[in-house]
Amino acid sequence: MLTRLRLLPDSASSVSGEVNFFFFLMVLVCGTVALAIAVFIIYCGFRYRRRHPNAMGAQVRYNVPVEVAWTVIPLLLFMGMFAWGAKLYFDIERPPNNAIELFAVGKQWMWKIQHPEGQREINELHIPVGRPVRLTMTSEDAIHSFFVPAFRTKQDVLPGRYTTTWFEATKPGKYHLFCAEYCGAKHSGMIGYVYAMTPRDYQTWLTEGAPEGSLASTGEKYFHQFGCANCHHFNEQGRCPNLRGLYNRPVQISTGQTVIADESYIRESIMAPDAKVVYGFDAIMPNFTGVISEEKIVALIAYIKALGPQPGTQQPSSSGTSPKEYGAQPGIAGPGATSNSGSYVEKR
């Protein structure tokens, strides 16, 4: 029985060490204070216990220096905790540029993972050690939460929206994957494992899986199946915008604002096409809500990402810096935008 008793979780990601360190430092600081209070109270309880039924304590009401001290010192301590916590949070939340990009769809009650190479996994996630992995996640129903204790990472997965999380495994092994946001009857069954593998094992795993095709090629299939290709031609003659080179570029929309065509924007354009219509086009695209599943959208996004730039134009850098304006026709586009993740930027 005792062999089952564990007191500490695995520490297997690039941030887990610092989280551990911060945690135990907090335990040390708070533990010391708690112990001091306890010892003080017990000491008073014995030292000043009532020895005579009519006895009265010292009639002291306040002591300003002492009170100021125990207001200011905790405040400073707390500010330190805040600063460190915030810095750590920033590190946990901001993905590096060279991450492997995977997609996860949560639904009652399973995790579906899609690799760009085409592998699909359910309640399992295979990743290489030593490379950051970024997950773009969404839910098909209630809110879920992607939680890997060994990586000290957790992110709610919301329906109708993409959220992201990232981690870099540092130790090969098999780690728990939990859903941490209550999502219904079999919430506690929405669990799985993350397999962190050495790069070589990972390569083997990738090739052994032997999927029919990459995620992008699946997306291409859907691109034709759902009739996208009927309007979205890869030239400027179609009734709809040319999607080549769209990904991660600024797009001017009909209200005059500019948005970045990231995953969220592409998803929104499929599910609510009239929300942000590209400047110069009519809102003729049908609404695919309820027609297409989140997993198929993911494949379509992978396809659009893989389309690459228009022949003859410069390949944008992978981080999306200095992007070119993406517009209906050359020359219509407004000034370069700096917005991110589909947020609005007022036209100057």
Minimum gap (Å) between residue 110 Cβ and another protein:
15
Cα-based distances in Å from 214 to 103, 207, 276: 13, 12, 29
Instruction: Please report how close the Cβ of residue 185 comes to another protein at its closest, in angstroms.
Output: 5
CB of 23 to another protein, least distance (A): 6
Please, which residue, 185 or 210, has the CB nearer to another protein?
185
225 or 343, CB closer to another protein? 343
Return the number of the residue (153 or 242) whose C-beta is nearest another protein.
153
Bridge pairing between strands 110-114 and 153-157: unpaired
100-107 and 144-148: which strand pairing? unpaired
Q: Which amino acid is at 20?
A: N
Closest to another protein by CB, 96 or 227: 96
d(CA 112, CA 104): 6
DSSP state of 144: E
Q: Is the peptide bond before 109 cis (omega within 30 degrees of 0)?
A: yes
Minimum gap (Å) between residue 228 Cβ and another protein: 19
Q: Look-up: residue for tokens 């005579």?
A: 52
Closer by beta carbon to another protein, 56 or else 210: 56
Nearer to another protein, 168 or 181 (CB): 181
Please identify which residue in the block is written with the tokens 């017990």: 42
209 vs 316, beta carbon nearer another protein: 316
Q: What is the Cα–Cα distance from 95 to 114, expressed in whole angstroms? A: 19
Partners of 134 in beta bridges: 101, 166
- DSSP code of residue 324: P
Q: How far is the CB of 343 from another protein (least distance, A)?
A: 3
**Rounded to 5°, angle at Cα 197 from 15 and 306:** 85
Beta bridge pairs of residue 324: none
Running DSSP on this structure, what letter comes out for residue 190? Answer: -
**156, two tokens:** 């709610």
Q: How far is the CB of 54 from another protein (least distance, A)?
A: 5
The least distance separating another protein from the CB of residue 40, rounded to whole angstroms, comes to 5
**Residue listed under structure tokens 């228009």:** 310
